[in-house]
Structure 1
Amino acid sequence: MGPEWQAVLLAGGAGASLFPLNHTGNPLALLPIANQPLITYALRSLEQADILDVLLVCSGEATAAKITSWAKNKYIGKLRLKTRSVPEDSESGDALRMVAEDITAQSFVVMSIDLITDVRLESLLAVHFLRNASATALLSHRKVSPASETKLGKAPKDVEYVALDGQMRRLVFFRPSPESRRNIKLPMGTLMRHGRLTIRTDLQDNHVYALDRSVLGVLHAKPSLASIKQDLIPYLVLHQHASTKAAAALRPDSSGTPSANGQPEPGSMAAPGNAERLSPGCDYISMSHTSADVDETAAGTSYCGAFVAAPEQYCARTVSLQSFSEVNREVVNVELAARLGVRAKPNAKHDNFVDESVQIGSKSMVAAGCMVGPGATLGDKCSIKRSVLGPMCKLGSNVKIINCVLMDSVIVHDGCHLQNCIICTGAELQERVSLRDCQVGPGFTVSEGAEHREEVLAKAPQQRRSSDTKS
């Protein structure tokens, strides 16, 4: 595959968007997915790709200290882990710029800690190397069509606008989609070069990038490129066709310096065309130009590649309470769990994961697609469906749990009914509690007979700042 690779794992911070899961300061990287820390999935992907030198970039010294302690005391594997902290609220491009001195390999991969995938990274890296690319992004198919999530007359939400070449190898257009953006401007040079572009919103960026070392030079020359996804990748895609003769137009001191959002300013080699508004809810929109394609092999050009995962491959990021809950339930599918490296031993007869040490009372039922961790106790007539229960959980009698995640040492007394909830470590639900679409913070007690809908039940949060390394 070429020279040895390094990995930069953006480990984030406490994950402010996941409150109350982070109420006690537990880093995002150590939150449980199928009863094992989130970080273990990314590390396994790197181990499979035989990338041994891994830099863990953490937001804030407190997060770095906790992840360093976990790596020292809990991690068992062949990777060489080194932890670096960056200031809280650092965006991903800024964080990469700050740790550049620790990157010595000619090529490296940047990956977010919150991604869980069964895509083999070695395939992505091999494609990047063989194409001699400056950057290669991992794309996957969105689970749901944006059309089903969009009201008539409104642009699709939380999508990337992507155009690939005819072979689906090269990124020729890439724009993340802030909700405030109503119009997408296409560079005229790009449209002239390719003749016809199909802008797609059915692909998602997974924040995994294989990068050439030269990209670090771009980051240092362009301090305004704060985010890898929002700034750096659009910038590289826009300027990948710069020939050797025109390279001076892209230098930081040139009058043609592009702006931070990737749109060229006056004097640059690719002027934007007219604004094209994408049809609301559309997965595809095509635009044509009569000019013939320009030779892609022109000397001095760089290459921004795309690696598109197969539709059946799994890519999911735990960036919200909803996705945290969904991913927990999805990865305990027995077949998928095997591909992702879930450590628990499956019960093939019942298509679930119930540890041998679990005590199950009379007439209790754990359905397929569930996980119950070691040391848990279920009373009589309990029903567990599409849920994950952590180690040492204790359930009384007549407890019903549907579409829930219970972390370690949760106590649920008799007659409780839970649906679409996340119950954090050490929480206690007294008798006959009814919760739907709720989150219960660590160590919180819900009073007997209480009924709650769509609420966060937690102790008053301490003053804190967002500590994610942003995309």
Structure 2
Amino acid sequence: MDLDESSAKLIPPEFLAVVLAGFGNELLPLTGNYGDEPSPKALLPIANKPMLEYPLVWLEQSGIKDVLLICPTSHRAALSNYIQSDSSASFPSLQIDLQTFEESQDLSVGTGALLRHFAHRIKQDFVLLPCDFVPPPTLSLTQILNKFRTESTYDGAIATAFFYEGRRPDKGSSTDEWGLVPTPTPIVWDERSETLLHIDTPDDADRNSEDLELRMSLLSKYPRVKLSATFMDSHVYACRRQFDSIREEFIPWLCKPQYQRTKLEKYGRVLNPVTNALTQELALKHSTLHSKAPVHLQHKDEFLHSPPSDDQNQEHTKSLVLDEDEEEARIPASLRMSLVVHRAQEGYAARANNLHAYLDLNRHFLSQQTYSLPTDSDSRAKIDQKAQISSDSMVGHSTRVEERTSIKKSVIGNHCVIGKMVKIAGCVIQDHCVIADGAKLDGCILGKGTKVGGKAELSKCVTQCGYEIGIGETTRNEKLDISDWTAGRGSSEEEDQSEEEASSEESDD
């Protein structure tokens, strides 16, 4: 009998990982369709690796095996191919259950609605992750899970949230035409107990955009709270076994039972049922660090106002001891929202949920790499010896680079063709792009299959997959998508047709 195999069958998995891969409207036009094919956000490359690979590898390193990956129906084929391809060698032990939901790019579904829809597949504690989170190398997911394990068992905490200290992109690296750089949401937290107490919601901001409104009960229970406007929500939560939005409704609501007595009484049994976690009552009772439950005030009043006789004193003392034991036996769940905070100096973490962050993440990995050129001989042979490629750049496999081309601080994807005397600086160029001779690109993000004509100049532009830029065109600070390009083409064709009709009419006359 194989003991290891039988043990694995008897012990159910402790955590299920739920990974959400949406459309990524904040990354348009990169996530716009490539012809009839979708461009899934989860497969957009960061340093020539699909962004989905970063959270999946993080999960595997923590020992989690079961993953529920949720994506739009139109993305299923592309994600399925990726999971079953050779790329899955980076996370071989994961068992990924790919599930889809009906959603259009114009109408998104909230996180809470997705969790409710797939509740029948979530049968244990779970950790929720977005597909766009790139974790810091110095922080393992195990540390967050251990925090949740300890505090949910010790004092009945109901969830653990992970916030990281963000950094603003380098000045001048992008442009406001790409959209505003998201600002951190103010949070109130208690550093000593590592408890999240308040997050400003959109409703709070609409009601009072100038001030932060806090209840006196919060300040009474936690008199030394901290207000921070530098931490970003990673959208990584370890939760017990649901609201339209996790970030905007569920987590802020979960903060309130910690200090609002009415909500604690109303929802305590729902959030912390008796069978929900192992009890630590005996350990708490004998712990030297655990403060005993207070004696009932009415007993103290009786003792002060009517001193008992010796017999009464013995009876009363006995009842007090029993009351204290009963109180200790019924230690209430804290329903705390536990918090893990990651400082910027401890390692870079970010979400690629907007164009600014996407560019910054790619540039970050350029500073961490050792080799800028592909290692296989066939790919190296496609790079001309007279091409100048800086050590802080990255060139993908099977990419051709012609002579006297200069590449600095840029990520070049796989199977690209870059002509002669091309200058590329601070760019991210995805797979299968073609850049003709003499073109100049500065601070751009080119979607998959983009074609740039000879001597064209682009500065801080983002293109949709398959976009074509004409010979000699100059464009700055633009988001270029196919609809604009085809509209331009259509209008020029109509003008040509009208000119031909006019000339034919003149000839008839």
Tell me the TM-score range normalised by the shorter chain: 0.7 to 0.9
Is residue 321 of structure 1 aligned with residue 355 of structure 2? yes
Equivalent residue, structure 2, for 1:193: 221
Q: Shift in Å at residue 408 of structure 1?
A: 1.0
Of the three residues 320, 334, 338, the one matched with 1:305 is 338
For structure 1, the residue ranges without an aligned partner over 5 or more in a row are 146-155, 214-218, 220-224, 253-296, 338-345, 463-471
Give the counterpart letter for 1:43 in structure 2. L
Of the three residues 418, 432, 436, the one matched with 2:459 is 436
Change in CA separation of 1:249 and 1:102 when aligned onto 2, cut-off 3 Å: closer
Q: Shift in Å at residue 300 of structure 1?
A: 2.8
Is residue 46 of structure 1 aligned with residue 79 of structure 2? no
Give the counterpart letter for 1:457 in structure 2. L
Change in CA separation of 1:117 and 1:177 when aligned onto 2, cut-off 3 Å: farther
Which has more radius of gyration? 2
CA RMSD of aligned residues (A): 2.7
Measured in 1, the distance between the counterparts of 2:388 and 2:31 equals: 27
For structure 2, the residue ranges without an aligned partner over 5 or more in a row are 1-11, 170-180, 271-329, 486-509
Measured in 2, the distance between the counterparts of 1:235 and 1:141 equals: 23
Is residue 169 of structure 1 aligned with residue 194 of structure 2? yes
Equivalent residue, structure 1, for 2:164: 140
Q: Shift in Å at residue 3 of structure 1?
A: 6.2
Is residue 63 of structure 1 aligned with residue 86 of structure 2? no
Is residue 121 of structure 1 aligned with residue 144 of structure 2? no
Equivalent residue, structure 2, for 1:98: 117
Equivalent residue, structure 1, for 2:100: 85
Measured in 2, the distance between the counterparts of 1:111 and 1:353 equals: 32
Give the counterpart letter for 1:158 in structure 2. T
Higher helix share: 2
TM normalised by structure 2 equals 0.70
**RCO comparison, higher one (Cα < 8 Å, 6+):** 1
Contact 1:242 1:302 in 2 (8 A): no
Q: Secondary structure at the match of 2:360?
A: helix
Q: Shift in Å at residue 314 of structure 1?
A: 2.0
Higher strand share: 1
Deviates more, 1:228-237 or 1:176-185: 176-185
Q: Percent identity?
A: 28
Aligned residues: 382
Q: Secondary structure at the match of 1:184?
A: coil
Deviations 1:202-240 (A, max 9, x none): 111110001112xxxxx2xxxxx2111111000001113
Is residue 27 of structure 1 aligned with residue 40 of structure 2? yes
Q: Shift in Å at residue 452 of structure 1?
A: 0.7
Q: Shift in Å at residue 70 of structure 1?
A: 2.5
Q: Secondary structure at the match of 1:69?
A: helix
Give the counterpart letter for 2:244 in structure 1. A
Q: How does 1:361-376 map to 2 (within 5 A)?
A: 361-376=384-399
Equivalent residue, structure 1, for 2:266: 248
Q: Shift in Å at residue 45 of structure 1?
A: 0.6
Equivalent residue, structure 2, for 1:275: none
Contact 1:355 1:373 in 2 (8 A): no
Measured in 2, the distance between the counterparts of 1:209 and 1:461 equals: 40
Of the three residues 333, 354, 361, the one matched with 2:367 is 333
Change in CA separation of 1:416 and 1:168 when aligned onto 2, cut-off 3 Å: farther
Contact 2:449 2:465 in 1 (8 A): yes
TM normalised by structure 1 equals 0.75
Measured in 2, the distance between the counterparts of 1:395 and 1:441 equals: 19
Q: Shift in Å at residue 249 of structure 1?
A: 6.6
Equivalent residue, structure 2, for 1:111: 129
Contact 1:117 1:315 in 2 (8 A): yes
Give the counterpart letter for 1:407 in structure 2. Q
Q: Secondary structure at the match of 2:149?
A: helix
Measured in 1, the distance between the counterparts of 2:186 and 2:338 equals: 15
Of the three residues 213, 235, 244, the one matched with 1:207 is 235
Q: Shift in Å at residue 8 of structure 1?
A: 0.3
Q: Shift in Å at residue 445 of structure 1?
A: 2.2
Equivalent residue, structure 1, for 2:309: none
Of the three residues 409, 414, 421, the one matched with 1:398 is 421
Q: Shift in Å at residue 46 of structure 1?
A: 0.5
Change in CA separation of 1:161 and 1:38 when aligned onto 2, cut-off 3 Å: same
Of the three residues 436, 443, 447, the one matched with 1:424 is 447
Measured in 1, the distance between the counterparts of 2:367 and 2:373 equals: 9
